[in-house]
Amino acid sequence: MVRVELYGLRLPEVKPGDDLARLIVEGASREAGGLRDGDVLVIASKVVSKSYGLLIDMRRVKPSKKALRIARKTGMNPRMVQAVLENCDRVLFLIPIKLIADRFFDGFMKLAENPENARRALELIPYMLVVRRGLQVYTDAGLDFSNHPENVASIPPENPDLYARKLRKRIKELSGMDVAVVISDTECFPGIGSIDLARGSSGIEVVSRRFGALDRFGKPKFGGVDRVADQLASAAALLMGQTAEGIPVVLVRGLRYVRREEGVLDHTLEPEAVKHIFRLILRENIRVLGLRYLLRLIA
């Protein structure tokens, strides 16, 4: 029988300077009978940020002219805009989330536990800024205000793979077990909703290497390049939840995976490569389908 088990590990409130690896090892001892070789630990980016003091006191943020201009046009909090600008390499585009919600109000409110609270949330964040931070794309630079005191936000590690390696090494020092580590974060999903993605990892093959492998009928299949780390992050999110569940770490046991000394950034395209791919797609669409077809998509 093939079986994979997921254990949600509740931790005490994590504070700057805490030994997160020790808290995880102790949590695994309480709730999963301890760690075993080959376990995978999916760790929410937020608790990594908390333990390393990657926090922003929004009261100390001073909006620049650019931040004030964007805030005036969008209704966003100027300090929020400035914090995003200070923690990204480039703003790519923005999402008018409140305008979308207003346009499709009935459908949007069906997703709300409390419509009044949902309206308040939209008033607080009417737009999202999609930015590039390092090689990765984030909404609002990954700033997270949930489950923090008032006026405090966490910011994701700039190099999540590095932090995954540090945690993995420390966990092995404390437990003697060689585990894989995935650092996860919640992002907007194209369309409606959100999904948890892997931002950093260590000790596991991030993307499977089975493109063109033969299927059961001996044909090379177009597939087999699975985003293993992302799939683990999404599975772990079912236990972590997105509000007050208090489960920042999920232990995955029984998964057969390939161990590799690589990280998520090793499978992330450089900005220039992304531009080249986009231009190639655009050019081929115009060549095959015609410019008029593309113009109809945005009309």
Q: Which domains does the chain have, with CATH numbers?
A: 5-260 (3.30.1330.100), 269-299 (no CATH)
Q: Indicate the pLDDT class of residue 204, thresholds 50, 70 and 90.
A: very high
Q: Examine the pLDDT at 17 and tell me if it is beyond 80.
A: yes
Lowest mean per-residue pLDDT among 60-69, 149-158, 161-170: 149-158
Lowest mean per-residue pLDDT among 16-20, 111-115, 255-259: 111-115
The token pair that represents 199 in the structure block = 């931002």
What percent of the chain has pLDDT above 70? 97
Burial classification of residue 60, based on how many CB atoms lie within 10 Å of its CB (0-12 exposed, 13-18 middle, 19 or more buried)? exposed
- Supply the pLDDT for residue 189: 78
pLDDT: which is higher, 241 or 276:
276
Mean pLDDT across the stretch 271-280?
Answer: 89
Beta strands 152-154 and 180-188, pairing class: unpaired
Tens digit of pLDDT for each residue in 215-270? Answer: 888 888 888 889 999 999 999 999 997 545 689 999 999 999 999 999 999 998 88
Tens digit of pLDDT for each residue in 47-93? Answer: 999 999 999 999 999 999 999 999 999 999 999 999 999 999 999 99
What integer best gives the mean pLDDT of the chain? 91
DSSP letters along 35-80, please? Answer: --TT-EEEEEHHHHHHHTT-EEEGGG----HHHHHHHHHH---HHH
Beta bridge partners of 40: 180, 252
Confirm if 236 and 250 have CB atoms less than 8 A apart.
Answer: yes
Lowest mean per-residue pLDDT among 135-139, 153-157, 186-190: 186-190
- Supply the pLDDT for residue 163: 98
Confirm if 95 and 130 have CB atoms less than 8 A apart.
Answer: yes
pTM here? 0.90
Q: Tell me how far apart the alpha carbons of residues 27 and 29 are, in angstroms, rounded to a whole number.
A: 5
Confirm if 52 and 265 have CB atoms less than 8 A apart.
Answer: no
pLDDT: which is higher, 40 or 111:
40
Phi, psi (5° rounding) for residue 101? -65, -40
Q: Indicate the pLDDT class of residue 42, thresholds 50, 70 and 90.
A: very high
DSSP letters along 145-212, please? Answer: -TTS-TTEEE---SSHHHHHHHHHHHHHHHH----EEEEEEEEEPSSSSEEEEEEEEESS-SB---TT
- Supply the pLDDT for residue 245: 60
Q: Examine the pLDDT at 3 and tell me if it is beyond 70.
A: yes
Q: Tell me how far apart the alpha carbons of residues 89 and 293 are, in angstroms, rounded to a whole number.
A: 34
Confirm if 220 and 210 have CB atoms less than 8 A apart.
Answer: no
Q: Indicate the pLDDT class of residue 193, thresholds 50, 70 and 90.
A: confident
Mean pLDDT across the stretch 137-164?
Answer: 93
Confirm if 100 and 128 have CB atoms less than 8 A apart.
Answer: no
Q: Which residue pairs, CB below 8 angstroms and at least 24 apart, start in 25-31?
A: 25/171, 25/174, 25/175, 27/249, 28/175, 28/251, 31/7, 31/251
Q: Who contacts 65 (Cβ-Cβ below 8 Å, separation ≥6)?
A: none
Q: Examine the pLDDT at 105 and tell me if it is beyond 80.
A: no
- Supply the pLDDT for residue 155: 95
